[in-house]
Chains A and B, each alone.
Chain A
Amino acid sequence: MSTHTEQVEHIEGATTMTFSKVWIALLVLTAIEVFLCYEQLPTVVMLTLLVGLSVIKAVLIIAYFMHLKFERLSLFLTLFPMLIFCILLMLIFLGDATRIPVMRPGF
């Protein structure tokens, strides 16, 4: 009985049309990234743009393909704030990484 209700819940949510649209959006974002690479922008600008676009792609994959948009909010709150916080903590040294090249003697 309970499994039956669960199945009905899963069928709702997204249709194949939605999935196809998400897939096309992901392909377009990838194409923009490849185009940016062709433009050869400065490293830090390039890095910011590429990571920004990749985060959008990640959100699309997690929300629609991984079905998180249609799960309970409690599942999202248990898993993601911690992950995002840990990833942001890893950013602490980025300032040092961008400073090192200009601190080199003779640069």
Chain B
Amino acid sequence: MSSQVTAVSSASAWEGGKSPYATNSKKFGMWLFIISDALTFSALLFAYTYGRVSNPDWPKPFDFTPSIIFSSVMTFCLLSSSLTMVMAVHQMNHGNRKAAGGWILATIAGGVAFVGLHLTEWLRLINVEHVTPASNPFGVPQFGATFFAITGLHMTHVIIGVIYLAIVCQAVLRGKFKAEDVEVSGLYWHFVDLVWMFVFPLVYLMSARVN
């Protein structure tokens, strides 16, 4: 009986009794969330791009200096925070909780810097350029709606990520949570970075003005 069971389960990882993905359920759950969230962002970015491409009058409100330089610095913050997050996961896998906590704090700092710079950019657009979700002085009303919807949803993800990482960080430093929990939070953070890698060229670089 038992030899039969062994024979069956060794035939395929899908026969039961094994983890076919060789991963824990938290990580798999996060991956499923990321895939569904990726579809949400792609739908928004596709809708935006269609509006952008089909409209020759689409405004170019972002001056190369300072707006594009500014958003490039934001991209740098987010990319670097991804590197520090990888380091945190790496240290946690080696059992160095204190170092992992430090790297997570660095990641949080990157995220906070990104949100701070992004809000500055938003306030400049709202107060100086008078762009709102409903109207703008450029003559294409969709611009404000799509800009604030996409960057707003992304910024919401970053803020949630910062809160998530803060919770993970304090737990790690207090000796709670395992390496896999840090890895799962890392997956979320990298995804937020990944989305920005599409938002930055499509929303900012496509609407840049070079004088």
Q: Using CB atoms and an 8 Å cutoff, list the residues of chain A in contact with chain B.
A: 3, 6-7, 9-11, 16, 19-20, 23, 26-27, 30, 33-34, 36-38, 40, 43-44, 46-47, 50-51, 53-54, 57-58, 61-62, 64-67, 71-72, 74-75, 78-80, 82-83, 86-87, 90-91, 93-94, 96-98, 100-101, 107
Contact = CB atoms under 8 A, between A and B. Distances in A.
A90 to B, nearest CB: 4
B136 to A, nearest CB: 20
B38 A83 contact: yes
B183 A19 contact: no
B43 A37 contact: no
B194 A61 contact: yes
Given A23-B83, A37-B208, A97 B54 contact: yes
Interface stretch (B73-81, B111-119, B126-134, B164-172): B73-81
26 contacts: A6-B180, A9-B22, A19-B90, A20-B83, A23-B80, A23-B83, A26-B197, A30-B76, A33-B201, A37-B210, A50-B206, A51-B198, A54-B197, A54-B198, A57-B197, A61-B190, A65-B186, A66-B187, A71-B22, A79-B31, A90-B43, A90-B46, A97-B49, A97-B54, A100-B55, A101-B55
B205 A75 contact: no
Interface in B172-197: 178-180, 183, 186-187, 190-191, 193-194, 197
A36 to B, nearest CB: 7
B180 to A, nearest CB: 8
Contacts of A65: 82-83, 85-86, 186, 190, 193
B53 A97 contact: yes
